[in-house]
Amino acid sequence: MQDNDPLPSTATAVGVSRYGRIAAQLQRKIVDGEWPPGAAIPAESTLATEFGTALGTIRQAIAVLVQEGLLERVQGKGTFVRNGLTGASMMRFFRFRADAGAPVVAIPRSEILSCRAVRLEKSIAALFGLDTGARGLAISRRRWLDDKPRLLESIWLPLPRCEPLQRLPKAEWGDLLYPLLASQCGITIHRAVDEVTFRTLDADQAELLELPDGHPCALVTRRAYDLQGNCAEYRLTQGDAYAFRYQADIR
Amino acid sequence: MQDNDPLPSTATAVGVSRYGRIAAQLQRKIVDGEWPPGAAIPAESTLATEFGTALGTIRQAIAVLVQEGLLERVQGKGTFVRNGLTGASMMRFFRFRADAGAPVVAIPRSEILSCRAVRLEKSIAALFGLDTGARGLAISRRRWLDDKPRLLESIWLPLPRCEPLQRLPKAEWGDLLYPLLASQCGITIHRAVDEVTFRTLDADQAELLELPDGHPCALVTRRAYDLQGNCAEYRLTQGDAYAFRYQADIR
DNA sequence: AAGTGGTCTAGACCACGTA
DNA sequence: ACGTGGTCTAGACCACTTT
């Protein structure tokens, strides 16, 4: 019987139970990239003999990570490491295009207005777990759908980690940030917390969105977290309030 | 070994598995009121002998209902039927009071502006599973916090079921609807789906909320469901858009 | 046919809450 | 001390997917 280190690692609610410790060890393998996104993890029976426990215990450990959204079980095929968020989910807050009932899943085109290294505001630095005055990347984007400007985004990223993006030519950015964070910086965004409030647009913002000055807008504030649970992005997104729609399920 | 009816009953995703069927049977007991909200259900071991299955199978059945939000397990004490929603959760969408960081949990005072029987709009009747032209209860409320009007609510209820409310004097309504639905009509609200959009107030609404005409407002559309999964309430809530705040967790 | 996860059994001992 | 749910074992057979 091997009975390894407790390994409280990150966010996994690890009590002292066997399956909790195993779950933490499996999570470590995912976080360290030993089991990359999309890959299948060893079969339950294999893990059971490896860890020297009963099958049911391994199943319980896997259930924890499935619940956390890190793993996905597929009957008859295996258990797979989930890919991170793509970032396309931002559109779920807005209902652009004709309300033909069809949920909009199209990815809006991204136009990078600016991208430069800055000294991070105190609160953002703290969010990233950095010291006050630490450097970060500040990105400003405008996003288009159906040849109309729809969203304005201000994005902050921690700078030692996201340095590769600084040297990347704008032409190679593409329309989605998270795949870029994965390929260039090795950061997998796995969870995000969004907060929605309402504001009005100032003159500059209104002009960029081709809306009247003072027009009401929805402001979505996003904190995105990597596999280790560290915040790796702070983002403000603004769009026409009248195009805003959000659905919440309350149990 | 007893192997009772399949009992697909309501929303429980009942495949053909043993624990699925047992989950459906347990749910039936809750829905029928045999196990009322707050009560403890029999111990796992008791249920296991009653159903003639292994303990683990019962545990799996209970897990399904816990996931659905119908049951709650408490270590060392037992497994309990959860109380329905209180309705106080509407306030989680708004941040009134000074932004002292403290989440507002206070229940706003309810002022009933009107309450009368009407012919339901086609779409609402369909939502309730009633024929077009069926009757319903239409309620208009204004809700106060800190001696200021904060929210306007329009509520529709299906009428054969909610008849007791029609005869109830306004003085006895109190501030929350759902406890009233439970005590007067035997309806337990167990789940709700909210949708948030953005509007502006018309003159009448603005006056009632003591805001300027045309002021931006958030509109929350709610469909509330009872234990059987039938819709038992349709509600529109409007409040100052600049006091609106909603947080969403994306995994 | 072989391998995977899904279901199920019949036990055991532990941790927690209450009396 | 007792009853509850929480953890764990060492098997078994089934359903699904791929070779």
The string of DSSP letters for A59-125 reads: HHHHHHHHHHTSEEEETTTEEEEPP---SGGGGGGB--S---SPPP-PPPEEEEEEEEEEEPPHHHH
With 0-12 / 13-18 / 19 or more C-beta atoms within 10 angstroms meaning exposed / middle / buried, residue A220 is: buried
* Mean pLDDT, rounded, of chain B: 88
Query: pLDDT tens-digit profile of B4-32?
Result: 333 333 334 445 799 999 999 999 999 99
User: d(Cα B38, Cα A130) in Å, to the nearest integer?
Assistant: 47
Question: Which residues between 187 and 226 in chain A have a beta carbon less than 8 angstroms from any beta carbon of chain B?
Answer: 190-199, 216, 218
Band of the pLDDT at A5, cuts 50, 70, 90? very low
User: d(Cα B188, Cα B80) in Å, to the nearest integer?
Assistant: 15
pLDDT beyond 60 at B66: yes
Record: contact A195-B242, CB cut-off 8 A:
no
Q: Report the residue of A55, A75, A198 to disrupt the B interface, i.e. the one with the largest count of B CBs within 10 Å.
A: A198
Q: Is A148 on the interface with B (CB under 8 A)?
A: no
Question: Which residues between 77 and 116 in chain B have a beta carbon less than 8 angstroms from any beta carbon of chain A?
Answer: 85, 89
**Of the given ranges (A191-195, B96-100, B131-135, B172-176), which has the lowest mean pLDDT?**
B96-100
Query: pLDDT tens-digit profile of A61-117?
Result: 999 999 999 999 999 999 999 998 887 766 778 877 655 555 556 788 999 999 999
Confidence (pLDDT) at B140: 97
Q: pLDDT over 90 for what percent of chain B?
A: 75
Confidence (pLDDT) at B96: 77
Residue B61 sits at φ, ψ, to 5 deg, of: -60, -45
Confidence (pLDDT) at A12: 40
pTM of the model: 0.85
Distance A6 CA to D17 C1' (A): 36
Confidence (pLDDT) at B16: 79
Record: contact A249-B195, CB cut-off 8 A:
no
Query: pLDDT tens-digit profile of B215-240?
Result: 999 999 999 999 999 999 999 999 99
Query: pLDDT tens-digit profile of B156-168?
Result: 999 999 999 998 9
User: d(Cα B151, Cα B243) in Å, to the nearest integer?
Assistant: 11
Confidence (pLDDT) at B139: 97
Contact A159, A138 (CB under 8 A): no
Query: pLDDT tens-digit profile of A173-185?
Result: 999 999 999 999 9
Residue at minimum CA to C1' distance from nucleotide C3: A76
pLDDT beyond 80 at A6: no
